[in-house]
Amino acid sequence: MTDEPWNCSLVMTMDEATIEAFDQLITLEGGSTSFRPDDIPETLHSSDVLVESLRPPTRCPLLDGCREHCEYEPDGDTLQVICDNGHDGQVPIDEYLYIDIEFERLLEKVGDHLGYDIESIDTDPQPRYIVGHTMHNFEIYLIVSPSDYEKTVNEICMQTLIEDRPALLITPENTIDSLLEIQSLFAAGNLIYTTPFTMLSERKEIRHSMATIDEIQEMEQQVIQQNIKQQHPVVYRVNSNPRYILTELNQMRLLRLAGELPQSSGTRLEKIGESTFSHLFAAHPEAGGEDDRGSNLPDSVFYISEHSLPPNFDSVLGIVDTKSGDDAGFGSEPIEGKHDEYLERGRRQAVPADLHAHIFVILDFDGQQELSFYDEMANYYQDNEYMVIFTAEALALVMSAYLSHTVANELTLIDGNFRTAIYSFFHRDKFRDAGLANITREVGQNQEQYDRKYMQREGLLIVTQDVVKQRLQDCMESPGEIENLLSTYYQPMPTV
Ligand SMILES: [Zn+2]
């Protein structure tokens, strides 16, 4: 500890024994934040982080079987007790003494130890966690005693992403594998540095990592500022929201994996779908006087303008439809009075488009019901109308690619235009031309029969993660990058 970047004499550090002792107290297994005096390691006996609290009996402790309310009065080492039944006697005070951890004080100590000034501490989220706002543009989260550990980490990840403020996350768990997995689902790897409490002894390492996160933040900001100057306001929107969209998509995926997805999530998914599509295809103000052609459209409709595309591309109006929330598949979807209304909505738009894509975003397929649903819808489709079904995973992959291409500059496309790359998902003929109609989803039973049926339906475009993967691979300068993208998205991220 000789090459510390700050003046050691001013810093109240904790020695390893103290860190160990605190870690011992706050381990999750116990889940308790209150202890008997005997449980306190000797190292901490004089610690100002621990406070004694007397929890005297409220019911008669004098006679087995008597449950009457009682009063008490401290008297030296004992408590003088009288119960409503008239029992009267003394009990040792020791038996009612507890030691509590003052987590606010502990977090201050951690701040001091690491050499960070903490401005204020928010204890409201206790007992799940507390958070200290530092004067160094990041937060320190200390997980306390949550009843649901994963949920708490989710909450912290969401918080960090929404506020776009880096975080140091300190967990009482000794391994952080599961934590990193959750973080990677939130694409929050470059915002959060996670460390077990015991590793607080590695001060240099932690400070170095937080500094790196800070640098990345700064770089991202610079990229965005530059891009704004270069008249790409869409990039600004990307930063202010798409990371969040990806977070939402990933959270749904997470909840679905855990079987915790609420039934109302269908509507939420459609909303996310809508914002994703409008982000991807937001009208460019500089596109030749066509300024806000898209801005008067309702939320559920987005416009792919031919101006943002190479010559001879059709304009497409995307109509994002909502499936009934409590219905897993397309089996019992009412068509008349609902989905035909969506089509009408598209047809009524003042923006004339060559093609109308009737779009559904779904979490899962239910059997092969989408085929018959499409057949029924097809009766209502006009010549320029067709159906596109996006899975949430496919959408999340599109968003990850978009972020790495537009914000992080990590993904290079052959013609450099992201919209052109993903245009095929929304265009009936281009979808076929790009060979995407041959990528069928796995249905388990009767695969060949399903494949044949699907391919016969030219107005049905099913966009799965495999379809997106194939398309991106075809459009990338180095197709190997897709693996990188996938591993960033699906694998636990290493800490910075
Ligand atoms: Zn009694």
For 401-415, what is each residue's pLDDT tens digit? Answer: 877 776 556 677 777
88 Cα to the center of ligand 1, angstroms:
8
**Between 39 and 275, the higher pLDDT residue:** 39
Q: How far is the CA of 39 from the centre of ligand 1 (A)?
A: 30
Report how far ligand 1's centroid is from the alpha carbon of 38 (Å): 28
Answer whether 364's CB lies under 8 Å from 441's CB: no
CA 70 – ligand 1 centroid, Å: 7
| Ligand 1 centroid to residue 64 C-alpha, Å | 8
State how far the Cα of 231 lies from the Cα of 229, in Å rounded to an integer.
5
**Residue 105, pLDDT score:** 94
- Provide the residue type at 489 as one letter: Y
State in Å: Cα 80 to ligand 1 middle.
Answer: 13
Q: Tell me the CA–centroid distance for residue 71 and ligand 1, in Å.
A: 10
- Of 73-77, 125-129, 227-231, 292-296, the one with minimum mean pLDDT is 292-296
Per-residue confidence (pLDDT) for residue 11, from 0 to 100 = 57
How far is residue 326's CA from residue 60's CA, in Å, rounded to a whole number? 53
C-alpha distance across the termini of the chain, in Å: 22
CA of 390 to the centre of ligand 1 (A): 69
How many angstroms does the Cα of residue 196 sit away from the middle of ligand 1?
47
- The confidence score (pLDDT) of residue 61 equals 92
Tell me how far the alpha carbon of residue 292 lies from the centroid of ligand 1, in angstroms.
80
Asked if residues 379 and 408 have their Cβ atoms less than 8 Å apart, the reply is: no
* Mean pLDDT for all residues in the chain: 78
Whether the predicted pLDDT of 285 surpasses 90: no
Q: In the prediction, which pLDDT does 2 show?
A: 35
Q: What is the 268 CA–ligand 1 centroid distance (Å)?
A: 57
Average pLDDT over residues 4-18: 66
pLDDT at 234: 43
d(CA 32, ligand 1 centre) in Å: 30
Ligand 1 mean position, distance from CA 306 (Å) = 86
Q: How many helices (H) and strands (E) does the chain have?
A: 16, 16
For residue 196, CA distances in Å to 17, 21, 125, 202, 247 come to 15, 14, 20, 11, 24
Domain ranges, ordered by start, for the chain: 8-48+103-214, 50-100, 231-490
Looking at residue 256, what is its pLDDT? 62
Q: How far is the CA of 95 from the centre of ligand 1 (A)?
A: 18
- At 189 the pLDDT is 53
Residue 184 clears pLDDT 50, i.e. is over it: yes
Instruction: Kindly give the distance from the C-alpha atom of residue 35 to the centroid of ligand 1, in angstroms, as a whole number.
Output: 27
Lowest mean pLDDT among 165-169, 230-234, 325-329: 230-234
Beta strands (DSSP E) in 10-166 are 34-35, 50-54, 70-75, 78-83, 88-92, 97-101, 118-122, 129-134, 139-143
CB atoms < 10 A from the CB of 383, how many? 8
